[in-house]
Structure 1
Amino acid sequence: MIAGFSAVLLAVGSATAYEYWRLDHNIKTVDISSALDDGASETPSASASASPTMPGTTAATGSMNILVLGSDTRSGSNSSVVHDHAASGARSDTAMVVHVNASHTKATIVSIPRDTLVYRPSCTTASGATTYPVSGVMFNTAYAVGGPVCAIKTVQHLTGLKINHYIEVDFSGLAKLVDALGGVTVTVSQDIDDSYSHLKLSKGTHVLDGTQAVAFARTRHGIGDGSDLGRIKLQQQLVKQLLKKIRGLDAFSDPTELYSLVETATKSLTVDTKLGSVSKLVNFAVGLDKIKTGDVTTVTMPVAAAPSDPNRLVASSAAAGLWASLDS
C-alpha cells in the first residue's frame, strides 16, 4: 500500500520549510535495531535514479521486507471508531509481511493470522523487564508484550526473513486516511451483520467511510467460518482497494487538498527510524513507484488447526516453502 503514496509524497516537493517541519513532526518513529541481527533495518543500496521533484532523492534498490501492523488499541482517538471497549492494551490484529522483489516491480503481501501459535523470543517490555522465550503462544501477543521490536523478532523467527522496515497504522489513522481519500470501494459476496464490529452491509458493492472501513477490517463473525481467515480476506481486499484509490489520485491538481492528505497520512503512521521523515519516506516511495496495483499479490500464510486447540492455528508445512520463495 505504501507504493501508492509515492505520487502524493513526491508532490510535497514545493512545501515550505515550516510545512516540512510540521510533516516531519507528525511522524512517530520506533527504533527497531535491537530486533535485527545484522543491520537489516538499513534500506538496500540506493540507485542513481533521482526524483524530479526533490533533487538528490534516490530510490532504494534490492529486495526488501516490510512488516505492516494494524494496532487494535482502544485508547485515545481510537475509541471513537471502535465500539467494543472491553479489550485493554494493544495487539497486532492485522499483520502483513510485504515482500518487494529485487527489481521493485512486484510485491507480495503475506497475512499472518493473529491466532497462529508461534515461538516468541525473549523480549523487553515497556517497563524494561525481560521476558523468557516461550513456544505455543498466539502471534498477536508479541506486540502486546514487547511492542514493535518483539513483533519483528517473532516474525523473523517465524519466517526466516530479515525485516527491513516497520510500518504501523492504528484504528484512528486508518479511518482518517479513508475519509481523506473520500471513502474506499469494496465488494462483499454475502450480507454482513457483525454485532462485534458493528458492520452491516448487504451483498454487493459499497463505498465505505473511515469508521466503516475500520469495522470492515475488524469483521470476522458471519464471514466464512467466523475465524481470522475470513477477516484476513476482507483486510486484503481493503488494502488493494486503498492502493487503487491512491494510485488514481491526481496528486498535483489541488495543492491544498494534497497537503491535507499528506498531513493525514503522516499523522497516521508509526515507522522505523530509517523512514522517520518526509524525505526518507519519499526516498522509500520512489523505489516502489514502479509497482502497480496489478503487480501486488495477496496471500495468507498456509496454516492448519493446532493439534492442541482446534480454535488456534499453526503454520503448515507449506508455509516454509512460501517464506523461502520470498527470500530473494
Structure 2
Amino acid sequence: MTRHEEQDDAGRRAGRRPGVLKAAGLGLAAALVVGAGTAGWAYWRLEDNIKGVDIDNALGDNRPVRAVTTPQPSASPLPTEAVNILVLGSDSRSGEENQELGGGDSSGARSDTAMVVHIDAGRTKATVVSIPRDTLVTRPSCPLSDGGTTAVAHGAMFNTAYSLGGPVCAVKTVESITDVRMDHYIEVDFSGFAKLVDALGGVTVTTDEDIDDDDSHLRLAAGTHHLNGTRALALARTRHGIGDGSDLGRIGLQQRLVKALLEQIASTDLLTSPAKLYKVAYAVTAGLTTDTGLDSLAELTELGRSLKGLPADGVKTVTMPVVAAPSDPNRVVAREPAASALWKSLK
C-alpha cells in the first residue's frame, strides 16, 4: 500500500466522527436561524452580507442530470429530497488583512478546502467527501464573467479551477470529475472564519504532534491549546508542519479544527447575549458566498431546519481515494476504480 493510500484509509477511519456534517459548513444555517430572530435592521444587515452567484445560469444545461426525487408529502413543509452541496473554504492571499493573517505573498484566492456533501432522500443520512486540493484533474472549459471561456487543461491541480474561474468553474470541475450534479454551493472565506473564532471567544483544539510551519507561521507543541482567530486560521492552513507535508494530512487537521469550533458553538449560550449573538451571526454571513438558491437567510434557514432529523451517526466522511501522481510524487490522482465507485454511490 502506498503512502497516499495509507493516509486515505486512515482519513476515512478518523472521519467517522460525530458532527462532521456540520464541519462541512451546513451548521451555518442553524446559526442563521437564530440570527433571523433579531431586530429588523439587524436581519437586513445580515441578509445584505450574503453574496450570491448564479451558477445555474452560467453553466446552462450541459451538466449531470439531477437525481430523480419522490415528491415530498404535503404534510411536510420542508424539503426532503436528496441534495448535493459543494462546500469550499476559500483562502484569499491578497490585501493587508490577509497578509496579517499569514496569507503569504501570492495574490488572488484559492479553494484550500473542498467537500462534496451528499444528503440522502429523507435527510437522515449523509456522506461528506473531501477532495484534496493537490489532485491532478482534467479541468474543463469554464465560462468567465466577461463572456469568454477558459481552455481545457489536462493534469491541472484541482484548486486552480477556483482561482481561474471562481465558483462557477469550481462547480463545473467537480461535476466533470464526479459526474454528480451539485445542487448548491457554499463558500466560507478563511478570513471570515478567523473573525468567527474571535467572536466565539476562541476555540480549543488538541494536536497529536508538534507543528512548525513556516508557511502558515504556526508553531504549536503537541497537546491542547486555546486558539484565537489568527492562530486557528493558521492551523487550518498548516500542511508542511505535520506528517509528510501532504494535503491529506491537512484535511484531517481541518476536520478536527472545525469539529472543535462546532463544540465551542454548542457550549456557548448565545441566546443570553444578544450582542454576542449578533457578532457571531455577522461574522458567519460576512464571509459567506452561496449559489442563488441559498443566498438569503430564509433559504439557509430552511436548509438548516430540513436537517434537524439527521443524527450524528447518520453521517459518514471519507476522502476521495487517491494515489501519488506518476508525473509528480508531490501531487495525487484519483485511485480507480475506487473513486468512480464512491461518486456513483452518491447518485
Are residue 229 (structure 1) and residue 248 (structure 2) matched?
yes
Maintained 8 Å contact 1:3/1:289: no
**Distance in structure 2 (CA, Å) of the matches to 1:16 and 1:47:** 34
SS at match of 1:275: coil
SS at match of 1:114: coil
Maintained 8 Å contact 1:47/1:60: no
1:16-66: per-residue Cα shift (whole Å, max 9, x none)? Answer: 33222211111111111123636859x99766677xxxxxxx432111111
Q: Which residue of 1 aligns with 2:9?
A: none
The alpha carbon displacement at 1:260 in A equals: 2.0
Q: Which residue of 2 aligns with 1:157?
A: 176
SS at match of 1:161: coil
The alpha carbon displacement at 1:186 in A equals: 1.9
Of residues 307, 315, 324, the one that matches 2:326 is 307
Distance 1:96 1:320, change over 3 A: same
SS at match of 1:261: helix
Q: Which residue of 1 aligns with 2:147?
A: 128
Distance 1:6 1:89, change over 3 A: closer
The alpha carbon displacement at 1:83 in A equals: 4.5
The alpha carbon displacement at 1:158 in A equals: 0.9
**How does the TM-score come out when normalised to structure 2?**
0.84
**Distance in structure 2 (CA, Å) of the matches to 1:155 and 1:291:** 25
SS at match of 2:242: coil
Q: Which amino acid aligns with 2:34?
A: A
The alpha carbon displacement at 1:227 in A equals: 1.0
Q: Which residue of 1 aligns with 2:108?
A: 89
SS at match of 2:271: coil
Unaligned runs of 5+ in 1: 51-57
**Distance in structure 1 (CA, Å) of the matches to 2:144 and 2:40:** 37
**Distance in structure 1 (CA, Å) of the matches to 2:165 and 2:255:** 26
Q: Which residue of 2 aligns with 1:139?
A: 158
**How does the TM-score come out when normalised to structure 1?**
0.89
Using the TM superposition, name which of 144-153 and 3-12 deviates more. 3-12
Maintained 8 Å contact 2:94/2:103: no
Are residue 14 (structure 1) and residue 34 (structure 2) matched?
no
Unaligned runs of 5+ in 2: 1-21
SS at match of 1:25: helix
Q: Which residue of 2 aligns with 1:35?
A: 59
SS at match of 2:109: coil
Of residues 106, 125, 129, the one that matches 1:106 is 125
SS at match of 1:108: strand
**Distance in structure 2 (CA, Å) of the matches to 1:232 and 1:240:** 12
SS at match of 2:78: strand
Maintained 8 Å contact 2:128/2:315: yes
Distance 1:180 1:135, change over 3 A: same
Q: Which residue of 2 aligns with 1:55?
A: none
**Distance in structure 1 (CA, Å) of the matches to 2:89 and 2:66:** 22
Q: Which amino acid aligns with 2:213?
A: D
Maintained 8 Å contact 2:190/2:287: no
Q: Which residue of 2 aligns with 1:244?
A: 263
Q: Which residue of 2 aligns with 1:253?
A: 272
Maintained 8 Å contact 1:44/1:60: no
**Distance in structure 2 (CA, Å) of the matches to 1:27 and 1:72:** 17
SS at match of 1:62: coil
SS at match of 1:118: strand
SS at match of 1:59: coil
Aligned sequence identity (%): 56
Maintained 8 Å contact 2:218/2:238: yes
Q: Which amino acid aligns with 1:117?
A: L
Using the TM superposition, name which of 253-262 and 138-147 deviates more. 253-262
Distance 1:14 1:170, change over 3 A: closer
Are residue 321 (structure 1) and residue 341 (structure 2) matched?
yes
Distance 1:131 1:8, change over 3 A: closer
Of residues 22, 25, 48, the one that matches 1:25 is 48
